């Protein structure tokens, strides 16, 4: 697939930049196959100044609406204008039936990749009876994530309406009601999922508007890039919303409630996930406690957004189950029966509304 994509992209770039002789200095290579997009890295030879240096192709799955991609592009523009470190978007187009974004490639590697070797060292130290390295890893994780989360949440959202002018995206498209609408539309395509009561609960108990901040929606170390000099940027803004900060904090509480999700065969993934549960809960609790010490958190809104993210994961799990375009065959941590059942129980405890998607 990469060779076909590379050729089609080069044709698009030659037309877009008006240079029929344009060629690659480094051909596209796969970085990751994400849950809704494939990411490739490349460089151009003798390109205009705006397209020099490392670039990223974010190639979205065929079933992802173009409006959703446009919204992500606009979010990048807003954040860049507000001074938050994100990749600049250089263009949007289509390759066959797939929409893509062409972006700058930020320097650095995921913070997750930095933490994992440190966790390995801490694990070895624990085997020798020395547990202090775990404290150091926890402090590093919490210090970096809370700092950059708070920096995001303190951006001046009053400027967002002006920054949206002329983009074709409205403020309402970035708010919670639009996210619930999108979940409902996706749930309608799922036979046997029975998610209507969950969607109805989300609408009925929606928090009042106010205290909105810019939220990423998947704020975890895998999306935070860093170099030896510090954080270079935050990537993957497809779930960004103007919402209370609890929307951000509740995501990790739901997504990793059963431990660190590990894609792969059940015989390997399940034991690793179970073993990581106490450590993950400890780190996430420390993260929330640190944030709460610095910023007010509303417990009722926290419960609501835990329920919201439960539905978000269950919709995605059901899509994978029925093999909808783009999700079929994708490795992900939220489709195992044990995890799905845990998310269902989590939703029922928060809402009193039982739900069960077909296995």
DSSP characters for 215-250? Answer: E-S--SGGGEEEETTEEEEE---TT-EEE-THHHHH
Asked: is 109-351 a CATH 3.40.50.10380 domain? The reply is no
103 pLDDT more than 90: yes
359 pLDDT more than 70: no
Q: What is the mean pLDDT of residues 59-80?
A: 92
Comparison of pLDDT for 265 and 163, the residue scoring more: 163
**pLDDT score for 318:** 85
Residue 234 main-chain phi, psi, to 5 deg: -120, 135
Ranges for all domains in the chain classified under CATH 3.30.200.20:
2-104
Integer Cα distance of 345 and 349 in angstroms: 6
Comparison of pLDDT for 65 and 306, the residue scoring more: 306
Give the mean pLDDT of the chain: 88
Q: What percent of the chain has pLDDT over 90?
A: 62
Q: What is the mean pLDDT of residues 187-196?
A: 81
Integer Cα distance of 209 and 206 in angstroms: 9
Nearest one of 199, 194, 197, 186 to 319, comparing CA atoms: 186
Lowest-pLDDT range of 11-20, 114-123, 154-163: 114-123
- Which residue intervals of 104-192 are DSSP H helices? 111-127, 132-153, 160-164, 176-188
**pLDDT score for 258:** 57
Integer Cα distance of 318 and 191 in angstroms: 9
pLDDT range class, residue 330, cuts 50, 70, 90: low
Max mean pLDDT among 35-44, 111-120, 189-198 falls in 35-44
**pLDDT score for 67:** 85
228 pLDDT more than 70: yes
pLDDT range class, residue 65, cuts 50, 70, 90: confident
Q: What is the mean pLDDT of residues 271-289?
A: 73
pLDDT range class, residue 131, cuts 50, 70, 90: confident
> Cα 314 to the chain's mean position, in Å?
16
**pLDDT score for 285:** 83
Q: Do 339 and 277 contact (CB within 8 A), yes or no? A: no
Ranges for all domains in the chain classified under CATH 3.90.1200.10:
109-351
pLDDT range class, residue 242, cuts 50, 70, 90: very high
Structure tokens at 138: 């926890």
332 pLDDT more than 70: no
Integer Cα distance of 90 and 77 in angstroms: 10
pLDDT range class, residue 29, cuts 50, 70, 90: very high
pLDDT range class, residue 179, cuts 50, 70, 90: very high
Strand pairing category for 230-234 and 241-243: unpaired
**Domain 2-104, second-level architecture:** 2-Layer Sandwich (3.30)
């Amino acid at each position: 697939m990469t060779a076909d994509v590379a050729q089609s992209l080069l044709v698009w770039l030659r037309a877009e930049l008006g240079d029929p002789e344009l060629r690659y200095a480094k051909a596209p290579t796969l970085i990751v196959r994400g849950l809704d997009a494939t990411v490739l890295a490349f460089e151009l030879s003798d390109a205009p100044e705006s397209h020099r240096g490392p670039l990223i192709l974010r190639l979205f799955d065929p079933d992802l609406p173009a409006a959703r991609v446009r919204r992500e592009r606009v979010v990048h523009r807003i954040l860049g204008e507000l001074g938050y470190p994100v990749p600049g978007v250089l263009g949007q187009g289509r390759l066959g039936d797939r929409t893509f974004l062409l972006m700058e490639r930020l320097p650095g590697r995921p913070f997750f990749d930095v933490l994992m070797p440190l966790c390995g060292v801490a694990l070895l130290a624990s085997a020798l009876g020395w547990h202090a390295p775990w404290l150091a890893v926890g402090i590093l994780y919490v210090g970096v994530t809370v700092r950059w989360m708070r920096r995001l949440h303190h951006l001046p959202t009053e400027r967002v309406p002006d920054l949206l002018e002329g983009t074709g995206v409205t403020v309402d498209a970035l708010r919670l009601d639009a996210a619930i609408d999108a979940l409902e539309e996706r749930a309608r395509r799922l036979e046997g999922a029975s998610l209507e009561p969950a969607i109805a609960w989300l609408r009925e108990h929606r928090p009042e508007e106010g205290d909105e901040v810019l939220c990423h929606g998947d704020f975890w170390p895998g999306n935070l890039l860093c170099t030896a000099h510090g954080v270079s940027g935050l990537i993957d803004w497809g779930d960004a919303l103007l919402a209370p900060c609890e929307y951000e904090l509740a995501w990790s509480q739901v997504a990793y409630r059963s431990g660190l999700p590990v894609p792969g065969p059940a015989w390997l993934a399940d034991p690793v996930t179970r073993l990581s549960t106490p450590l993950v809960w400890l780190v996430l609790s420390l993260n929330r406690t640190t944030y709460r010490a610095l910023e007010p958190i509303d417990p009722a809104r926290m419960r609501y957004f835990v329920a919201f993210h439960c539905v978000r994961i269950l919709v995605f799990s059901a899509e994978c189950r029925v093999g909808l375009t783009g999700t079929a065959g994708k490795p992900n941590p939220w489709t195992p029966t044990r995890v799905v059942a845990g998310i269902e129980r989590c939703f029922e405890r928060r809402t009193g509304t039982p739900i069960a998607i077909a296995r």
